[in-house]
């Protein structure tokens, strides 16, 4: 149990007024009132208790690949886990990965252990923690399919161990979404050796052919709807989204569900484009698209 009183002067890792644009793949976002990049559980616990003591909202950036941070910034504590949270251990048919482990590393180590079950994560620019929060997936698989247990940190600094069977994951959603008081620390996964997924290099090539990577983006902006037999990209394509722009925020000509930063786009530009595109799809198809990205 961490002390319930933390003096910010004791937390040398906490900085003030740090621009978040450098920590998001869209390259937009104003400053965070407080920012820290802890390298250990102890540092993270102290930072979280600090935020709780001073009633600060907290966000976890991960690789910033699914975040739209406002131009005004974030009036709370922004946390980006340091390399100390990137450990990964393979123990036979199990892999334990810290929250900051890149998803590609999980796929790579699994391959070297003789399992291709995580190959679908190839090319997804996120971390294990962020992947669990969003229940990252592709090609019909999701990261939660292989989850056996995980641990999380609460606002008091206490660590909790939870079994996969006690929680429910859905398409691109998890119990952690909208629940900032549960911070993923580590996860254990089972390795399925009977599966046969395409090689990582093949999947990466497919992604390069299908998705635009030449300009900053946050990947797919909208989730695929369940009420119609069309993907979000197909719906957007039908309403003429490709090439649509607001300022320097432009929809890719390659994939209609990608909004690119073509140079100096602002979060306001991107948000306005999202709102207009959602409205177009609703008027044409009666479908309300839900964002896959998280707006801060």
Q: Which residues have a Cβ under 8 Å from the Cβ of 214 and sit 6 or more positions away? A: none
Residue in 168, 150, 170 with CA at minimum distance from that of residue 160: 150
Strands 159-163 and 15-19, by their bridges, are: unpaired
- Tell me how far CA of residue 13 lies from CA of 80, 87, 158, 189, 212, in angstroms: 11, 20, 20, 31, 36
What are 210's two structure tokens?
Answer: 């299908």
Closest CA to 180 of 77, 293, 66: 77
Residues with active-site annotation: 172, 220, 292
Give the span between the Cα atoms of 206 and 7, in whole angstroms: 50
Sign of the torsion formed by the C-alpha atoms of 21, 25, 28 and 30: negative
């Amino acid at each position: 149990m961490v002390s319930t009183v933390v003096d910010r002067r004791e937390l040398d890792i906490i900085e003030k007024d740090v621009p978040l644009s450098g920590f998001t793949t869209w390259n937009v976002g104003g400053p965070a009132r407080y920012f820290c990049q802890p390298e250990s559980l102890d540092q993270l616990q102290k930072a979280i208790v600090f935020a709780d003591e001073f009633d600060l909202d907290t966000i976890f950036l991960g690789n910033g690949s699914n975040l739209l941070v406002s131009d005004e910034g974030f009036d709370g504590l922004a946390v980006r886990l340091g390399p100390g949270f990137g450990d990964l251990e393979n123990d036979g048919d199990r892999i334990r990965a810290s929250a900051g482990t890149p998803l590609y590393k999980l796929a790579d180590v699994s391959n070297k252990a003789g399992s291709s079950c995580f190959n679908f994560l190839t090319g997804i620019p996120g971390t294990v923690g962020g992947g669990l929060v969003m229940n990252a997936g592709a090609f019909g698989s999701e990261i939660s399919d292989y989850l056996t247990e995980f641990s999380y940190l609460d606002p008091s600094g206490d660590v909790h161990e939870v079994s996969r069977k006690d929680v429910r994951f859905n398409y691109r959603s998890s119990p952690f979404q909208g629940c900032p008081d549960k911070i993923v620390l580590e996860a254990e996964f089972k390795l399925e050796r009977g599966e046969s997924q395409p090689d990582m290099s093949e999947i990466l090539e497919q992604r390069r052919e299908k998705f635009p990577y030449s300009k900053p983006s946050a990947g797919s902006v909208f989730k695929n709807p369940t009420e119609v037999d069309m993907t979000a990209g197909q719906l957007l394509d039908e309403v003429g989204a490709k090439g649509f722009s607001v300022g320097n925020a432009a929809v890719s000509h390659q994939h209609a569900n990608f909004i690119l930063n073509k140079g100096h786009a602002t979060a306001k530009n991107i948000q306005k484009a999202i709102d207009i595109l959602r409205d177009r799809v609703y008027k044409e198809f009666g479908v309300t698209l839900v964002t896959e990205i998280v707006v801060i």
